[in-house]
Amino acid sequence: MKNKFQPDISTCSAIGHSVAYLMNKDSTVRLMVYHYTNKKTVDGDGETFSSLDKARKFAFEKGYIVRDSRAYTEEEKKTE
């Protein structure tokens, strides 16, 4: 479950990354990503998506965002 994106999970930027989503006037979403360690732009930075969930899924699959550890249930914490 942790490795598969689910729209309802709480996420945060992965270590070394800054991630933001900008809503465009046409209701599309622009993904903004920066990697602090490499100080380079990364794949998908500035890319436009048709929805916030699609942008979040892309960022999750690339490792730019991760599941927020504060959102794990006690049972999930035991299985890590």
pLDDT tens for each residue of 2-57: 578 888 888 999 999 999 999 999 999 999 999 888 777 789 999 999 999 999 99
What pTM does this model have? Answer: 0.80
Are the C-beta atoms of residues 26 and 11 closer than 8 Å to each other? Answer: no
Q: List the one residue out of 29, 34, 27, 22 whose CA is nearest residue 62.
A: 34
